[in-house]
Structure 1
Amino acid sequence: MTVPTYRGLTWDHPRGYNALAAATAQADAFSLSWDRHSLEGFESHPIGELCARYDLVVLDHPHVGEAVAADCLVPLEAIFDADEIAGWRGAVAGPSLASYHYAGRHWALPLDAATQVMAYRRETVALPPIEWAQLPAFAEDHAVALSLAGPHAILSFQSICGALGFEAGAPRDTFVDRAVAREAFSLMAALTGEVTRRAQALNPIAMLRAIERGEGIDLCPLIYGYVNYATRGVGFADAPAGPSGRIGSTLGGTGIGVSKRCRITPELLDHLRWLMSEPVQRGFIPQHDGQPALRSAWQNEAVNAATGGFFAATLATVDAALLRPRHDGAIAFQTAASAQLRAALLDGDAADPLLDQIDILYRKHHPAGAET
């Protein structure tokens, strides 16, 4: 009897690869190997092309609209019972499963939960700020950097808008209400000093490494949390709050999607169930550099003790996190809008011309009547 052979694709970081690779040893009814691509490829590569080459694809939720348009993923409803899906929905941290729900179905299993949080160097920051209003003054005495590389400028902008009261997800013709957008841009402009300029090309992994190594950055107010750095001198805290106390953050994390090319077997589905099970999420995955999705793991005392309290310190931010646009065209919008915003901040441009361009891009890349 021929043993089924599967190829999976994940992203090239211990958090994205090590647990999945180690888990293949648990499977004896099939063969599964995992390839890796860069963080930038994970964030922007067309999902249809990846699904044409791989059986399992680790993806981020902004790709789901593109995946539905390309008809390249199998919905979870076609391979798992409704009770199982409902159980995962209630068990995950924050909107991790909801982020993969689009066009009436779910398109990935939320293996990993993450969102933008505050990261700081423990040696130089005794007490990180808790509100956006405190950041400009804090930056006068500390090296504060915004995360602007790749899509992160626009993601930080959306998060600040959320802290200031913007409600994402409602049908609209503009990306963000203009009054809130101006205030968010003003905050970002105030923090685009020399430290941010030097760090403008750093993706979140490189930014966290710079904080870890003491390379001129004391704090980043919004950066995707990586548990791997929590025991290396990097402290993590909830993202800054707005004047009403609302935390602003934009969900990240990853899910495993099953491509249309995959030959689905009961054994493969059992393997995916195993990865999502509570013992594995609070044991095997964190023990292999992973960042679990289940709330029970984020609240587990042993998991927190081993990771410098990373999960307990940031769970409130995960629960409050906003979703990114997920329509077909969301990745193109995210890429173009982030480039425009980054350039405007670095060049010292005025807010309204930039915000006009972002709204034009949003309408261009957002099909009329499409979900967000």
Structure 2
Amino acid sequence: MSLPHYRGLTWDHPRGYRALEAAARDIAPEQGLTIAWDRHALEGFEAAPIADLAARYDLIVLDHPHVGEAVAQDCLLPMESLFDAIMLAELERAAIGRSLVSYRYADAHWALPLDAATQVMAHARDRIDIPPSTWDAVIALAASQPVALSLAGPHAILSFQSIVAALGAVRPVDGFVDRQAGRDAYAIMAALTGATSRAFVESNPIALLEAMAAGKDIALVPLIYGYVNYAAAGRVSFADAPRGSSGIGSILGGTGIAVSKRCAMTPALKTHLLWLMSEEAQRDFIPAQDGQPSLRTAWADPQVDARWGGFYSGTRATLEAASLRPRHDGAIPFQTEASARLRAALIDGEPADPVLDTIEAAFHRHHRKGTEL
């Protein structure tokens, strides 16, 4: 008798696929199912409509800004239809920061937190002994060391939001950003858009970390999505995001595993998904496969931390403090448009207010008033 077979889609980086593929090979058959995992590029998160992916895959690894679109397209199964409220409540307590909360939208959870990440600081060990802890210190360091902002793809607007959060601004009820906080955040980014930021303006976080690991002329990236894979040995070290007047500011990343409506759910698949969320998988199996777990106990485990060069202890406070991105239907095109506008303005040296005007207009165009963010 053949085992039920499922198709999944994840992203093409060791952090994104090794643990899932190893679990499909070594764990799933013992649980009574088979899973084939396909991969797409990191930018595939923004490139393909969720409904199209859900028509082709049973399981989809996604990030939380996609949930509004998924709800609007009615293409995923809510976790409440698969797991009981007690299990979800226990997972919310166990998951670090807002890793599970980020997938709750329209009164339901649309993914389980497979992987936890947020924007943190990366620096070259051989160039910086003690990384700066504040935005003022980052700007001062940039006078003597090559500092790069992460500006490619959606990351310009994500870095902007992280700085706004560090400044303590609350998002307006009817808009995207408090104007004065926006001006202040823009000024910080403008001060850091020097030769190094310009040289790496098209580099996504993976490319930036690869460049730093390879010894390229880049000493520090003050906000970049953390990748444990670069921390175990070599040149790259990670630390908490810079603090502003209100402390750490960071915008949550990470990924969740969602179940499409085309999926024929079986007890075996439920068992496998629960196992991926278990202590065994999160603290032992996933880190051993170059993954980045989502349970707080894994992030606090001294052995896991030591194996990965202090990555977890060095960035845990940032992850616990991280804020959510907008998740409404239209959040992805807004993020893309706003980031492109901000990136071009920083490179061209434009003043803040016209840029913020354009970003606010894009937000209102892509967000239907009264809908959940």
Q: TM-score, normalised by structure 2?
A: 0.98
Inter-partner Cα distance in structure 1 for 2:48 and 2:242: 31
Inter-partner Cα distance in structure 2 for 1:93 and 1:31: 29
The equivalent of 1:37 in structure 2 is 40
**Equivalent position amino acid for 1:59 in 2:** L
The equivalent of 2:255 in structure 1 is 254
User: Helix, strand or coil: the match of 1:267?
Assistant: helix
User: Helix, strand or coil: the match of 1:250?
Assistant: coil
8 Å CA contact 2:20–2:37 kept in 1: the answer is yes
1:71 to 63, 70, 74: 74
Inter-partner Cα distance in structure 2 for 1:183 and 1:27: 50
**1:212 partnered with 2:213:** yes
The equivalent of 1:151 in structure 2 is 154
Inter-partner Cα distance in structure 1 for 2:47 and 2:227: 20
1:81 to 68, 75, 84: 84
The equivalent of 1:3 in structure 2 is 3
Residue 368 of structure 1: CA displacement?
Answer: 1.2
**1:52 partnered with 2:55:** yes
The equivalent of 2:365 in structure 1 is 364
User: Helix, strand or coil: the match of 1:39?
Assistant: coil
Inter-partner Cα distance in structure 1 for 2:187 and 2:113: 35
Residue 135 of structure 1: CA displacement?
Answer: 1.5
2:240 to 233, 238, 241: 238
8 Å CA contact 1:117–1:238 kept in 2: the answer is yes
**Equivalent position amino acid for 2:333 in 1:** A
8 Å CA contact 2:228–2:308 kept in 1: the answer is yes
8 Å CA contact 1:62–1:326 kept in 2: the answer is yes
Residue 3 of structure 1: CA displacement?
Answer: 2.1
The equivalent of 2:113 in structure 1 is 110
The equivalent of 2:12 in structure 1 is 12
The equivalent of 2:309 in structure 1 is 308
TM alignment of 1:69-218, pairs within 5 A: 69-168=72-171, 172-218=173-219
**Equivalent position amino acid for 2:50 in 1:** I
Per-residue CA distance 1:136-175 (angstroms, 9 max, x = gap) = 111011100000000000000000000011124xx62221
Inter-partner Cα distance in structure 2 for 1:86 and 1:172: 29
Inter-partner Cα distance in structure 2 for 1:45 and 1:207: 24
- Identical amino acids, percent of aligned pairs: 61
Inter-partner Cα distance in structure 2 for 1:279 and 1:7: 24
Residue 2 of structure 1: CA displacement?
Answer: 3.8
Residue 293 of structure 1: CA displacement?
Answer: 0.2
Q: TM-score, normalised by structure 1?
A: 0.98
Residue 45 of structure 1: CA displacement?
Answer: 2.2
8 Å CA contact 2:121–2:238 kept in 1: the answer is yes
Inter-partner Cα distance in structure 1 for 2:136 and 2:167: 11
Quick check: 39-48 or 98-107, which moved more? 39-48
Per-residue CA distance 1:65-97 (angstroms, 9 max, x = gap) = 000000010000000010000000000110000
Count of residues in Structure 1 that have an aligned counterpart in Structure 2:
369
Residue 227 of structure 1: CA displacement?
Answer: 0.1
8 Å CA contact 2:4–2:33 kept in 1: the answer is yes
Q: CA RMSD in A?
A: 0.8
Inter-partner Cα distance in structure 2 for 1:42 and 1:366: 19
User: Helix, strand or coil: the match of 2:143?
Assistant: helix
Inter-partner Cα distance in structure 1 for 2:48 and 2:126: 37
Residue 239 of structure 1: CA displacement?
Answer: 0.1
**Equivalent position amino acid for 1:35 in 2:** D
The equivalent of 2:351 in structure 1 is 350
8 Å CA contact 1:43–1:60 kept in 2: the answer is no
Change (3 A) 1:35 1:99: same
Per-residue CA distance 1:241-276 (angstroms, 9 max, x = gap) = 0024x1010000000000000010000000000010
8 Å CA contact 2:215–2:235 kept in 1: the answer is no
User: Helix, strand or coil: the match of 2:142?
Assistant: helix
Inter-partner Cα distance in structure 2 for 1:127 and 1:250: 23
**Which 5+ residue runs of structure 1 have no aligned equivalent?**
none
